[in-house]
């Protein structure tokens, strides 16, 4: 009998130690996580160290409702009650009057315009007319492979006539935007990173740490893990058939790591694969890389940069990244080889 009781006790002790919930370390934070699949058309996970489930539930609901608000605001396909969002701005393109909107959408437009200038137009949120042709081709080709097609050169260059960022008017005082006739925004290259960054900054302002948000290739660390230990962030293996699902690991604290990859959203036509990052010069997805990962403080900027650097040749992209402070990059080339900026190695330690 004694033996049975001590065996049961041992199991309870082991369980308590394993879950960390317990009797011996009441104040040690425990690790919790949650995943959502209904925002930004991707999987979003939150991992955090909290005192208990109740604290984590409150934290994760706060994060969810922030991200949901941004998701709605930056949605170009649907409008929502009580707000003028990106879809509203697109619908009213050509109107003389400004569309009053949420300050966060205006802030995103300002960031996007800055990123356009910084990258010589390699990331352009005003590329909507061209991107929607590719979007449509992808949807049709994925749904009915026998009807697969790519947009014609003629259609693409006609659409490109309406993609000048100069046609996006931003009124910061009135919190309003306006597009010229025929234009449309596509915020896909920056919206997720911006939303994650704003949410992370809100948590920081509340004194939070020990939180990691990962939104489909867009990771942001809020502080470190307990006792100052950095988060390990794995870089996805572009070869999704490989048993090894990551190719590199870096250590992160208070920074963001964002990957743009060809494996995320692509389709096949005539035996060739077409991915979702469009080179504004050729209006085509170019096969320069399998992925580009950017590590930088701000997740919104990192997201814009991951798309932009994808559209730069290797030497140009490397020189560009080296010219930016506190910004590093890892390129995976079509043959599976790697290139990295000078400060990347330091992120591994």
Binding interface with ligand ADP (CB under 6 A):
123-125, 127, 131, 186, 188-189, 216-217, 260, 264-265, 276-278, 280, 303, 306-307, 311
Q: How far apart are CA 295 and CA 299, in angstroms?
A: 8
Q: CA angle at residue 324 from 286 to 283, to 5 degrees? A: 20
Query: What, of Mg ion, ligand ADP, none, does residue 185 touch, CB below 5 to 8 Å by kind?
Result: none
Binding mask 159-198 for Mg ion (x = CB under 5 A): ------------------------------x---------
Q: Measured from the CB of residue 78, what is the shortest distance to ligand ADP in angstroms?
A: 15
Q: Give the nearest residue (CB) to ligand ADP.
A: 188
User: CA quadruple 274, 250, 215, 175: dihedral positive or negative?
Assistant: negative
Q: How far apart are CA 266 and CA 141, in angstroms?
A: 10
Q: Which is nearer to ligand ADP, 123 or 211 (CB)?
A: 123
Does residue number 60 form part of the binding site for Mg ion (CB under 5 A)? Answer: no
Does residue number 303 form part of the binding site for Mg ion (CB under 5 A)? Answer: yes
Q: Which is nearer to Mg ion, 114 or 345 (CB)?
A: 114
Task: State how far the alpha carbon of 314 is from the alpha carbons of 12, 112, 335, 341, in Å.
Answer: 56, 23, 14, 11
Q: How far apart are CA 123 and CA 189, in angstroms?
A: 7
Q: Which is nearer to Mg ion, 59 or 195 (CB)?
A: 195
Q: Which is nearer to ligand ADP, 84 or 307 (CB)?
A: 307
Tell which one of 307, 311, 327, 341 touches Mg ion (CB under 5 A): 307
Q: Which is nearer to Mg ion, 88 or 307 (CB)?
A: 307
Q: How far apart are CA 6 and CA 11, in angstroms?
A: 9
What is the per-residue DSSP string for 64-119?
Answer: HHHHHHHHHHH-SS---TT---HHHHHHTTT-SS-EE--HHHHHHHHHHHHHHHHT
Query: Which letter does DSSP use for residue 174 in this model?
Result: T
Q: Give the nearest residue (CB) to Mg ion.
A: 307
Q: Which residues bind Mg ion (CB under 5 A)?
A: 189, 303, 306-307
């Amino acid at each position: 009998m004694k033996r049975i009781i001590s065996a049961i006790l041992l199991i309870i002790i082991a369980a308590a130690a394993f879950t960390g919930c317990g009797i011996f370390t009441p104040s040690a934070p425990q690790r919790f996580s949650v995943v959502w699949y209904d925002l930004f058309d991707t999987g979003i996970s939150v991992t955090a160290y909290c005192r208990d489930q109740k604290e984590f539930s409150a934290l994760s609901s706060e994060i969810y409702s922030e991200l949901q608000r941004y998701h709605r605001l930056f949605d170009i396909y649907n409008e929502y009650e009580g707000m003028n969002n990106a879809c509203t701005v697109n619908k009213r393109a050509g109107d003389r009057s400004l569309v009053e909107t949420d300050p966060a959408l205006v802030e995103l437009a300002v960031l996007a315009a800055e990123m356009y200038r910084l990258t010589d137009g390699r990331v352009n949120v005003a590329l909507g007319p061209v991107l929607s042709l590719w979007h449509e081709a992808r949807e049709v080709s994925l749904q009915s492979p026998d009807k697969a097609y790519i947009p014609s050169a003629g259609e693409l260059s006609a659409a490109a006539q309406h993609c000048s960022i100069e046609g996006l008017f931003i009124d910061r005082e009135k919190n309003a935007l306006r597009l010229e006739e025929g234009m449309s925004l596509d915020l896909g290259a920056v919206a997720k990173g911006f939303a994650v960054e704003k949410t992370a900054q809100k948590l920081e302002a509340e004194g939070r740490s020990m939180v990691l948000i990962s939104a489909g290739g867009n990771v942001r660390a809020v502080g470190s893990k307990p006792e100052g230990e950095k988060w390990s962030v794995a870089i996805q293996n572009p070869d999704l058939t490989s048993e090894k699902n990551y190719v590199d690991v870096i250590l992160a604290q208070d920074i963001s790591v964002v990957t743009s990859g060809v494996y995320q959203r692509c389709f096949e036509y005539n035996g060739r694969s077409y991915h979702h990052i469009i080179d504004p010069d050729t209006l085509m997805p170019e096969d320069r890389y399998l992925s580009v990962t950017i590590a930088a403080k701000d997740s919104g900027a990192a997201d814009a940069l991951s798309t932009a650097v994808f559209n730069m040749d290797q030497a140009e992209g490397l020189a560009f990244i080296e010219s930016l402070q506190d910004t590093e990059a890892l390129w995976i080339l079509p043959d599976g080889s790697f290139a990295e900026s000078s400060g990347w190695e330091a992120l591994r330690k």
